[in-house]
Every structure is written in structure tokens, then in C-alpha cells.
Amino acid sequence: MQGGVQVSPPKSPVAPTRRFRILIVDDDRDSVDLLKKWLAMEGYDVASAASGREALERISRDHPDLILLDLLIPPPDGLEVIRAVKKDRVTSTIPLVVMTVKRDVQSKVECLRSGADDFIVKPFHFDELDAVLRASLKKRYLYASLERVNRQLREANEKLLTIATSSAGWPRSSSVPSATLPRCRR
């Protein structure tokens, strides 16, 4: 065992079809190096940060697809990073997985209530990490797909409204009189 991670070969050499970007936030260089090697073998793009401050800078700049976060890092600590990431509208949907030596229930509950998406205790097995990553990244992908479809629907509605208002002779800035709109039956 090195740096709180059980060393074993990866479960599967199959890489995801899209290269997800993962940010590892941990001040233990051995753990980071081991995780980077394993994640790269699994087909992920990997970056790291050794402190809360560096993590927040990288998250803001790079918008990773997932964050692997140790709680015990130089300031701000992991819990403060969780709160900052989840408070920001732009980064709030990034899955955040806590990996820590803290085994007590209170730490886990506090992390999850603060916005962490999952919590794994060091030392962990790569099969456990693999399952957590896949589930978290699936949520991220589905959320991004939903955002994309919602944006397309808003654009289509805007076009329809433009067509409807221009063909009815109403100025674009005014609202369409509700009496002239067809009613939907329920």
C-alpha cells in the first residue's frame, strides 16, 4: 500500500469514449502520482492541485468533469472547497468525490450535506474508485445532456415566438395578447 491507496491492477483497460477531465486535490504526492497513473491508464485526462487555493483556481479556470478531493489539505480545507464549488452556479454541477482517511460518520454526513456527491475512505480499492467515478461521470454526462437539450428548446421557442409575433403583426417586444392564443385542453 502506498499513500493510502491499495495498489492493484485496473479492473479494465477499456477507456471511456470521451476523455473526461479529472482534478485530483491532495497534498500527498505519492497518492496523487499513483492515482494519476491509474486514471491515465483508464483513459482520463488528469490534473492535480496540492491545496484548496490551487484547487479553486484550477476548478474556476479548467472546469473539470469530476473532482477527487481529500479533506485534509492546506487551506482552504476540503470542506471549504466543497462549499465554494457547490455555491458557484458555474461549478455546482461538477461531481465532487471526497477521498479521505476520516472514517467517522459525522465527517461523511457533513461532506454529503455540504454538497459532495460521494465519499470513499482511504485506503480504497481501485474497483471501488472505478465504480464511484463511473456513476458520478454518468450523472455529469446526463446533466450536461439535459442542459444542452434545454438550451435547444429555449432557442426553438424563441424562434417560434419570433415567427408567431411577426406573422401576427405584433411588435417583438410586446407580449402576445393571451386572448388570441389557442387554449390547451387538459
Asked if residue 112 belongs to a domain, the reply is: yes
From the number of C-beta atoms within 10 Å of its C-beta (0-12, 13-18, 19+), residue 119 rates as buried
Tens-digit pLDDT profile for residues 116-165: 999 999 999 999 999 999 999 998 888 888 889 999 999 999 999 888 88
Domain count, the chain: 1
- Residue pair 93/117 in contact by the 8 Å Cβ criterion: no
Per-residue pLDDT at 163: 86
Give the domain extent around 27: 21-144
Domain of 134, CATH number, reads 3.40.50.2300
- Is pLDDT of 78 > 90? yes
Asked if residue 71 belongs to a domain, the reply is: yes
Amino acid present at 147: E
- Three-point CA angle 68, 53, 30, nearest 5°: 45
Tens-digit pLDDT profile for residues 157-185: 999 988 888 876 666 555 555 555 555 55
Asked if residue 91 belongs to a domain, the reply is: yes
Mean pLDDT of the chain: 86
